[in-house]
Copies of this chain bind each other. A is one copy, B any other.
Amino acid sequence: MSTYTPAVEDLINELAKLPGIGKKTAARLAFHILRSSQEDAQALVRSILRVKERIGLCRVCFNLAEGEMCTICRNSQRDCSVLCVVEEPNDLIAIEATGVFKGIYHVLHGAIAPLDGVGPQELKIAELLERLKQGGVAEVILATNPTVEGDATSLYLAKVVKPLGITVTRIAQGIPAGGDIEYVDSKTMSKSLEGRREV
């Protein structure tokens, strides 16, 4: 028999659906919400509803956007000749955080994963090719994850993009900054050796 009241039990179950939140953490969060002021709880609820109501996908690059287009596609300062392909909006944010990339993006919303039933049609690949055919892009940077699915997606994209006469590059894989060669896994180390460059 559970000693939570049904409403608390229900909230714990809902919170436990969030990624990385188990039952124990969900219970702690639920108790925090219980103890918090009515205003704080309302603010949380409002921000959830606002996100679900306002946020859509940019009609150009499929990044998250409030309105028709995202802030990057609306920004006339960006270099439209370099297009970076990422799996998810979070990846785009990680790249933006570096401040190094000044080009534009295309968000696939996933990676090719036949075992999960995700083929090229499930991703925003047709839309990418459509964009590229309109011209103006000289280089496509493939910034999918360094996983089996991400690599497979990159290979597929390289195959379909190259015939358009566009340079296709893949972000470098190797040992991370501040990493310790002694403790680097062999897969990363072999990628690092493979990708060695003349200095």
Q: Which residues on A are within 8 Å of B, measured CB to CB?
A: 3-8, 10-11, 13-15, 17-21, 25, 27-34, 38, 40-41, 43-45, 47-52, 54-55, 64-66, 70-72, 88-90, 92-93, 96-97
Contact = CB atoms under 8 A, between A and B. Distances in A.
Contacts of A45: 45, 48-49
Contacts of A4: 64, 93
Contacts of A50: 7, 10-11
13 contacts: A3-B93, A5-B70, A7-B50, A10-B50, A11-B47, A17-B40, A18-B33, A19-B28, A27-B93, A28-B90, A33-B48, A41-B52, A45-B48
Contact of A64 (B34, B70, B93): B34
Contacts of A10: 47, 50-51
